[in-house]
């Protein structure tokens, strides 16, 4: 069984991870590089001179971007292991898993891992002011766990009690509040920060939907092969 | 008998739990551990994926 989970997750994670890496390099990386010009002081927002919104950006860097491709793929393999394991557990309890229903699972994964944390802790462009990283990570993991439990209760729970618990779990991390900095000191224009957050979330959505599709497909294929 | 059923149930859940622990481990190492080499290598991805980075 473990081998079946591992095979499906590796295949799904690699396919979705490579897609995510390509999309990130094309849509997110230029925004990040643009922000780094402000972070490093090459460009100054509200300085003496007006600054062009379209500076020349560094091109493809084989080492830096190669590492990004590697790590994106790794992270999506990690997501895939969680997703396929959850799918397998659900299937053992009579839930049908296919590539088509997998898309829904993927979107749920996106909500738990990207969207819910981003509601109170938006994807950060380099150079923004932020609270202590360890505290933000604790809040991030807590939010992911609470949201994942809530989505499972909404999808598979029955009755108002379970749905009420789900609503509390969804809202609690944001009512408690994410750790934010005491002062703002970010040198990056808000236009760039907003575009970065929107792009990071948009690409995350597509990549997770693909991950769900691939996970459902490969899981079902493994199932048929072992039947 | 009860023990048998329980152990059968446990062994059927174990591979799923093991896969989840492995997945969480990978996400933690690639996305969250602050060791400087790891942080630098994964820097762009951590930002683009919405993980708390610095």
Residue A49's pLDDT is 79
Banded model confidence at residue A226, pLDDT cuts 50, 70, 90 = confident
Give the integer Cα–Cα distance in Å for B29 and A70: 13
- Domain locations in chain B? 14-45
What is residue A201's predicted lDDT score, i.e. its pLDDT?
97
Q: Tell me the pLDDT tens digit for each residue of A51-97.
A: 888 888 888 999 999 999 999 999 999 999 999 999 999 999 999 99
- Boundary-marking domain end, from A152, A170, A185: A185
**Residue A186 vs residue A120, higher pLDDT:** A120
Q: Kindly report, residue by residue over B8-46, the tens digit of the pLDDT.
A: 555 589 999 999 999 999 999 999 999 889 999 999 999
The range of the structural domain enclosing residue A8 comes to 2-128+190-226
User: Given a cut of 60, is residue B2 above it in pLDDT?
Assistant: no
Q: Kindly report, residue by residue over A178-216, the tens digit of the pLDDT.
A: 999 998 888 999 999 999 999 999 999 999 999 999 999
pLDDT band of residue A42 (cuts 50, 70, 90) is: confident
The Cα–Cα gap between A21 and A112 comes to: 20
**Cβ contacts (< 8 Å) between B41 and chain A: which residues?**
67, 71
Q: Is the pLDDT of residue A175 over 60?
A: yes
As given in the structure block, the two tokens for residue A195 are 């575009």
Q: Are residues A56 and A39 in the same domain?
A: yes
For position B11, what pLDDT does the model report?
56
- C-alpha A165/C-alpha A36 separation (Å) is 42
Is residue B3 scored above 60 in pLDDT?
A: no
Q: What mean pLDDT is reported for chain A?
A: 94
For residue A227, give both structure tokens: 């039947």
**Contact status of A217 with chain B (Cβ, < 8 Å):** no
Q: What ipTM did this prediction achieve?
A: 0.92
* Gyration radius of chain B over CA positions: 18
Same domain, residue pair A119 and A143: no
Same domain, A30 and A135: no
- CA separation for the pair B32, B39 (Å, rounded): 8
Task: In whole angstroms, give the CA distance from residue A127 to residue A183.
Answer: 13
| A67 & A110 share domain | yes
Rounded to 5 degrees, what are φ and ψ at A216?
Answer: -60, -40
Q: Which residue has the higher pLDDT, A75 or A46?
A: A75
Give yes or no: residues A64 and A151 share one domain: no
Give the pLDDT confidence score for residue B9 in this predicted structure. 52
- Both A97 and A170 in one domain: the answer is no
How far B27 CA sits from the closest chain A CA (Å)?
5
DSSP string, chain A: -HHHHHHHHHHHHHHHHHHHHHHIIIIIHHHHHHHHHHHTTSS-TTSSS---SS-------HHHHHHHHHHHHHHHHHHHHHHHHHHHHHHHTT----HHHHHHHHHHHHIIIIIHHHHHSPPPPTT---S-HHHHHHHHHHHHHHHHHHHHHHHH--SHHHHHHHHHHHHHHHHH-----SS----S-HHHHHHHHHHHHHHHHHHHHHHHHHHHHHHHHHHHHH-
Q: List residues in chain B touching A: CB distance below 8 A.
A: 12-13, 15-20, 22-27, 30-32, 34, 41-42, 44-45, 47-54
- Same domain for A90 and A179, yes or no, is no
- Is pLDDT at A218 greater than 70 in this prediction? yes
Of A1, A121, A203, the CB nearest to B15: A1
Is the domain of A90 the same as that of A60?
Answer: yes
CB contact under 8 A, A136 and B52: yes
A206: Cβ–Cβ under 8 A, 6 or more apart, which residues?
A19, A20, A23
Q: How many domains does chain A have?
A: 2
């Amino acid at each position: 069984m473990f081998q079946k989970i591992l095979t499906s997750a590796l295949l799904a994670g690699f396919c979705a991870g490579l897609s995510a890496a390509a999309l990130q390099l094309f849509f997110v990386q230029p925004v990040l590089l643009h922000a780094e010009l402000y972070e490093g002081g090459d460009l100054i927002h509200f300085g003496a001179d007006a600054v062009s919104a379209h500076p020349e950006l560094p091109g493809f860097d084989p080492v830096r971007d190669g590492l990004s491709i590697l790590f994106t793929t790794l992270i999506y393999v990690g997501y895939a292991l969680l997703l396929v394991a959850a799918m397998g557990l659900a299937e053992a309890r009579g839930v049908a898993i296919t590539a088509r229903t997998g898309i829904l699972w993927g979107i749920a994964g996106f909500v738990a891992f990207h969207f819910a944390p981003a509601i109170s802790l938006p994807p950060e462009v380099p150079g923004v002011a932020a609270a202590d990283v360890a505290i933000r990570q604790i809040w991030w993991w807590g939010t992911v766990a609470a949201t994942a439990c809530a989505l499972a209760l909404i999808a598979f729970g029955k009755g108002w009690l379970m749905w009420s618990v789900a609503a509390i779990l969804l809202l609690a991390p944001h009512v408690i509040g994410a750790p934010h900095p005491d002062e703002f000191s970010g040198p990056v224009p808000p236009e760039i920060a907003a575009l970065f957050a929107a792009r990071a979330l948009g690409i995350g959505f597509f990549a997770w939907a693909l991950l769900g599709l691939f996970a459902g497909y490969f899981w079902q294929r493994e199932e048929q092969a072992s039947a | 008998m009860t023990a048998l059923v329980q152990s059968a149930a446990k062994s059927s859940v174990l591979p799923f739990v093991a896969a989840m622990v492995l997945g969480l481990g990978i996400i933690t190492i690639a996305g969250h551990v602050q060791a400087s080499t790891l942080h630098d290598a994964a820097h762009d991805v951590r930002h683009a994926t919405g993980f708390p980075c610095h």
